[in-house]
């Protein structure tokens, strides 16, 4: 217990307000605690209790407290089922079965700060989708005004009531004083970013709360995975840090890593149904990255130096390869890459690693024709070749590493691929030729991986080294090493 208190105390300097519950797919147990939704007063008390939680207190404990308070008033699964997302027509609960649903609660569409939040979420959409995060703007106005206000954003939206806003989603109130303090920011958005102040209709005002802060929740499998409560109206969170569940000890996020690092082939087709313009979304992100000149921030000679440094840097300094091979450090680097619209580079490298794992696994289940004959199988095979079998042995399927290789080519290496990676066409053609001559060998993508790391990833890694995320990563790693010492 003393260790827990010490850990809690050490977090008091951390300004990040992430609340993690983990993938608690057994939330159905909360339905037993359901009370009548007519108890709106209890919902308001829940919200008030949330406001009293110290953001720097123990993160996991605070999250459990918040979820317990919410579930005491709501049958969470039923409410998520009733929250219909447009234009898809699916409920939040159904979407959360295949995706991580990001609920962003705003005040009203005519608020300049809300317009800025919507714009920032829209700009970040490509990185959200790469991590299977589906952003949904939660609002309280009529759908006609919503469609007009969100035109051109490609974002989904959902209308919510006051009881859901303050009870289930726990959005804190914002006083007139807080709004007055945010006035300079509001004016900035109005004049510098061409945002306009428009009030809701009188009909909408009667059923909505205009004085509140912003809140974000990630819902996965009907569970509140991670939440972020804005400290003030002008605050802007680090989205990369948020979606990768950073800012907490590794032990608190171990049950979320597999969810965060899903392979795109598990959800890409479903995302295309939700976002028919997904190719255009990623194409726009690549253009934005080009405009920001991210790929050309370092001089060419520094890139050339980087190619050598990957293999020659001493043990006293972390290399990009070490970061990519460590699951905890890789998440920090991926968070940085997502913020600069370059996340596909890390995903490409992860997919190659999975391909190699599948190659090794396939070898364990590969038998030559002699062994098959001895097993009594009636399967006719060519004496000169090996085959891959699946249980039962007589059933032949396409090897998984073949499927994965085709997926890597189609998703990352073909012209106009959805996650197109900038690499040598000569190397791509050489890899395809190797398949024809040698088959799906384990080192099929090695040359492409080295090229992407040296020309694309390493320059960005040098930028990452001077970022706050890198400092936090090193502090996290050092903390884990200190804890593991005898």
Q: Determine the average pLDDT of the residues in 370-393.
A: 51
Average pLDDT value for residue range 279-285: 88
Is the per-residue pLDDT at 357 higher than 80? yes
Higher pLDDT, 319 or 178: 319
Q: Where are the domains of the chain?
A: 2-264, 277-486
Q: What are phi and psi of 215, to 5 degrees?
A: -145, 145
State the sign of the Cα–Cα–Cα–Cα dihedral 417, 259, 357, 363: negative
Question: Any bridge partners for residue 387, and if so which?
Answer: 367
pLDDT confidence of residue 75: 83
E strand or H helix at 98 = helix 92-98
Query: Which pLDDT band, with edges at 50, 70 and 90, does 334 fall under?
Result: very high
pLDDT in the model for residue 260 = 54
pLDDT category at 39 given cuts 50, 70, 90 is very low
Decide if pLDDT at 434 tops 70.
Answer: yes
Say how many residues make up the chain. Answer: 486
Per-residue pLDDT averaged across 205-224, rounded? 87
Average pLDDT over residues 188-206: 77
Q: Which helix (H) or strand (E) holds 315?
A: none
- pLDDT tens-digit readout, 239-259: 999 999 886 544 444 444 444
Whole-number pLDDT of residue 133: 96
3-state DSSP call for residue 193? coil
Name the average pLDDT for the chain: 75
Q: Is the pLDDT of residue 438 over 80?
A: yes
Q: What is the CATH number of domain 2-264?
A: 3.40.30.10
Among 144, 89, 152, smallest CA distance to 118 is for: 152
Domain 277-486 -> CATH class: mainly alpha
pLDDT over 90 at 371, yes or no: no
pLDDT of residue 388: 52
Q: Give dist(CA 227, CA 172) in Å, integer.
A: 13
Residue 121 has pLDDT above 90, yes or no: yes
Q: At residue 72, does pLDDT exceed 60?
A: no
**What CA–CA distance (Å, rounded) separates 268 from 420?**
14
pLDDT interval class at 465 (50, 70, 90): very high
Q: For residue 485, what pLDDT band results from cuts at 50, 70 and 90?
A: low
Residues 6+ positions from 208 with CB-CB distance below 8 Å: 108, 140, 141, 162, 200
Asked if the model's pLDDT at residue 456 lies above 80, the reply is yes
């Amino acid at each position: 217990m003393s260790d827990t208190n010490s850990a809690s105390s050490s977090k008091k300097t951390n300004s990040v307000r992430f609340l993690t519950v983990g993938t608690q797919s057994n939330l159905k147990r909360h339905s037993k605690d359901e009370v009548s939704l007519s108890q709106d007063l209890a919902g308001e008390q829940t919200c008030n209790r949330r406001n009293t939680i110290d953001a720097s207190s123990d993160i996991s404990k605070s999250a459990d407290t918040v979820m317990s308070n919410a579930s005491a008033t709501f049958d969470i699964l039923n409410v998520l089922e009733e929250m219909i997302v447009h234009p898809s027509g699916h409920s939040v609960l159904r979407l959360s079965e295949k995706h991580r649903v990001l609920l962003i609660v705003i005040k009203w569409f005519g608020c300049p700060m809300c317009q800025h939040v919507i714009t920032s979420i829209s700009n970040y959409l490509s990185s959200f989708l790469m991590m299977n995060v589906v952003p949904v703007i939660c609002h309280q106005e009529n759908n006609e005004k919503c469609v007009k206000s969100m035109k051109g954003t490609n974002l989904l939206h959902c209308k919510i009531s006051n009881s859901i806003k303050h009870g289930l989603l726990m959005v804190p109130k914002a006083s007139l004083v807080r709004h007055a303090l945010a006035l300079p920011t509001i004016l900035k958005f109005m004049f510098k970013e061409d945002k306009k102040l428009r009030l809701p209709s009188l009909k909408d005002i009667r059923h909505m709360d205009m004085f509140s802060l912003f809140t974000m929740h990630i819902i996965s499998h009907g569970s509140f995975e991670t939440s972020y409560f804005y400290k003030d109206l002008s605050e802007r969170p680090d989205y990369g840090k948020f979606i990768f569940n950073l800012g907490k000890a590794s032990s608190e996020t171990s049950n979320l890593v597999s969810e965060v690092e899903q392979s795109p082939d598990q959800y890409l087709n479903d995302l295309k149904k939700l976002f028919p313009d997904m190719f255009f979304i990623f194409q726009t992100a690549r253009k934005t990255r080009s405009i920001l000149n991210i790929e050309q921030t370092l001089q060419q000679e520094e890139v050339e130096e980087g190619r050598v440094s990957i293999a020659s840097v001493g043990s006293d300094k972390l290399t990009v390869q070490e970061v990519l091979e460590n699951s905890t450090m890789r998440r920090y680097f991926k968070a940085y890459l997502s913020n600069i619209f370059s996340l596909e580079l890390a995903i490409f490298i992860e997919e190659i690693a999975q391909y190699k794992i599948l190659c090794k696994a396939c070898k364990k289940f590969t038998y030559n024709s002699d062994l098959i004959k001895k097993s009594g199988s009636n399967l006719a095979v060519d004496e000169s070749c090996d085959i891959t079998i699946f249980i039962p042995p007589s059933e032949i399927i396409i090897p998984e590493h073949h499927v994965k290789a085709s997926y890597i080519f189609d998703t990352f290496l073909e012209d106009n691929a959805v996650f197109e990676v900038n690499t040598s066409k000569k190397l791509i053609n050489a890899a395809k030729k190797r398949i024809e001559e040698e088959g799906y060998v384990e080192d099929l993508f090695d040359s492409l991986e080295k090229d992407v790391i040296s020309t694309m990833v390493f320059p960005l890694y040098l930028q990452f080294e001077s970022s706050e995320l890198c400092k936090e990563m090193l502090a996290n790693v050092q903390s884990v090493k200190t804890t593991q010492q005898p």
